[in-house]
Amino acid sequence: MELFWYIVLMGMLAGYVILDGYDFGAGIIHLFFAKTEKDKKAITHAIGPFWDANEVWLIAAGGILFFAFPTLYASAFSGFYLPLIMILWLLIFRAIGLELRSQIKNSMWEAIWDKAFGVSSLLLALFFGIALGNIVRGVNLGNVVNGVSAYEGHYFFLPLWNQTFSPQAEQLGVIDWFTLLLGIIGVVALTIHGANWIIFKTNSDLNPKLKKVVFNLNFVLLALVITSLLIWHIIEPKPFHNFMQNPWLWIFPAITFTGLFGIFKVKSYKKHGLGFLFSSLFLFGGFASTVASIFPKVLPSTNSVNPDLTIYNTAAENYGLSVGIYWFAIAIVLVAVYMVIQYKVFKGKMDDVGYGEH
């Protein structure tokens, strides 16, 4: 039963990364490449009908986490309290940046909310990548110092960074050179993903330029991915032990690199949706590979005093998990119907679908 809910949770998070990921990427493109009002409107038209619905997947994942893995929920939301509050404010500013921009026809007003939308999108991509880095690296559960726990074994506290900026320090920070590397990978990957979505959903004058941006950034992404794989051994002595024991798991790295190499052909695709398909494959494969590498851990412990948090020692009672399946079945059908209708109504190019004009 724990495995079922773990797959559901990871599936929702993967869906969120792919769906809201293109919104973050579009915001980054908006920040750096949209120089004219026409370009800015093309980007907001591309994501306008979708962005708020895409965020529902994060809320749903939080609900599943609270319901199915309450100990992990309590641990993560206390230990990562400060960065989670920062993420919440960034989500708010990204939303109001989109919604308030067109309320007043004034260049200074519009510039403020353009920056709020773009900078928030950039920082969200960075913070979610850093968050994944923290899960891979682990945390000092119990805040052990000199072999003694300061808290219960499933609690911890992390400052934003420590003095050494090292992922191997006894007292870790949220941001160190390893988690920052994964954050940068997140920014680059979602910028590519957002650009591919804009190419897919618009006939913007930006599109030829965005194809070049995607092609060039993909070299950066490839180099960063290879670098992260090489230094992973510093963080985890046997990072691929799950793949060696379960060879079928290699399908996830295969999906990752299929997506990565497929993006290199973005300039030649006649069907604009192919670039978005390949960047989606990269994001799904990369997330699934990372999750598979640490399974069944959900939050590794960096000390030898307190054990890792796993799907088994953080899960709710079996009765509750069983009853929840019936409600989940109803909810997933409703969400599926909604999304099918939404993407059917707004299929095709979005150039003529206004968003935010009042």
- pLDDT tens sequence for the chain (358 residues): 888 999 999 999 999 999 989 999 999 999 998 888 888 888 888 888 888 888 888 888 989 999 999 999 999 988 888 889 999 999 998 888 888 877 788 788 888 888 999 999 999 999 999 999 999 888 888 888 887 887 887 888 888 888 888 888 778 889 999 999 999 999 999 999 999 999 998 888 888 999 999 999 999 999 999 999 888 888 877 778 889 899 999 999 999 999 999 999 888 888 888 999 999 999 999 999 999 999 889 999 888 888 889 999 898 888 888 888 888 899 889 888 988 888 888 887 776 666 655 4
Q: Which residue has the tokens 């985890």?
A: 236
Domain count, the chain: 1
Tokens of 80: 């990562």
Query: DSSP assignment, residue 149?
Result: E
Q: 358 lies in a domain?
A: no
pLDDT of residue 56: 86
Tokens of 87: 């993420």
pTM above 0.75, yes or no: yes
Q: 249 lies in a domain?
A: yes
pLDDT of residue 40: 86
Contact, 270 vs 231, CB < 8 A? no
Element (H, E) at 314: none
Q: 319 lies in a domain?
A: yes
Q: Is 356 left (phi over 0), alpha (psi -120 to 50) or beta?
A: left
Element (H, E) at 148: strand 148-149
Residue 149 pairs in a beta bridge with 144
Question: Is residue 72 packed enough to be buried (19+ CB in 10 Å), middle (13-18) or exposed (0-12)?
Answer: buried
For residue 16, how many other CB atoms are within 10 A of its CB? 20
Contact, 298 vs 309, CB < 8 A? yes
Q: 17 lies in a domain?
A: yes
pLDDT of residue 357: 56
pLDDT of residue 354: 64
Q: Which residues contact 187 (CB under 8 A, 6 or more apart)?
A: 28, 122, 125, 126, 129
Distance CA 117, CA 93 (A): 7
Q: 98 lies in a domain?
A: yes
> Range of 27's domain?
2-345
Please give the radius of gyration of the chain, using alpha carbons only, rounded to the nearest integer: 21
19 closest CA partner among 57, 60, 48: 57
Cis, bond preceding 307 (omega within 30 deg of 0): no
Q: 352 lies in a domain?
A: no
Q: 325 lies in a domain?
A: yes
Torsion on CA atoms 348, 350, 352, 357, rounded to nearest 10 = 150
Contact, 140 vs 303, CB < 8 A? yes
Q: 353 lies in a domain?
A: no
Per DSSP bridges, beta strands 148-149 and 297-299 are unpaired
- HEC string of 195-231 equals HHHHHHHCCCCCHHHHHHHHHHHHHHHHHHHHHHHHH
